[in-house]
Structure 1
Amino acid sequence: MGIKDQFQDKAERMQQQGKQRAEQAKEQMRDRGRRDDDEMDQPSRREADDRFSQDRDA
């Protein structure tokens, strides 16, 4: 295999890795968005849990 082929193969691998990382980042952002939405749907439950923990501390 010539040097040109080696560089071309390496460039293709790096390009594929970049695409995979970009896709993973998109999925993580989607997951974060869902988690934020879930927390906003149940704020009263979170407040009740906070109050309970404060009562136990006192």
Structure 2
Amino acid sequence: MLGLALISCNIFSLFIPLGLFLVFVFNYIPKSDDYLQNKYGEQFTVYKQKTKKLLPFIW
């Protein structure tokens, strides 16, 4: 989708991939982290400490 937006040179086409990215970062990731924390507890905490974040200092 991002490639199509860039090829078409339409600035409004960039909003769709940007919107999807924001939904992923601010909606899906926190819900997924909460679910995994509830399911695995301490194991997930250890995993989070060892694993690099997608966006440093954010997620």
In which range does the TM-score fall when normalised by the shorter chain?
A: 0.3 to 0.5
TM-score by length of 1: 0.45
Q: Which one has a larger percent helix, Structure 1 or Structure 2?
A: 1
TM-score by length of 2: 0.45
> Comparing both chains, which one has the higher relative contact order based on Cα–Cα distances under 8 Å and sequence gaps of 6 or more?
2
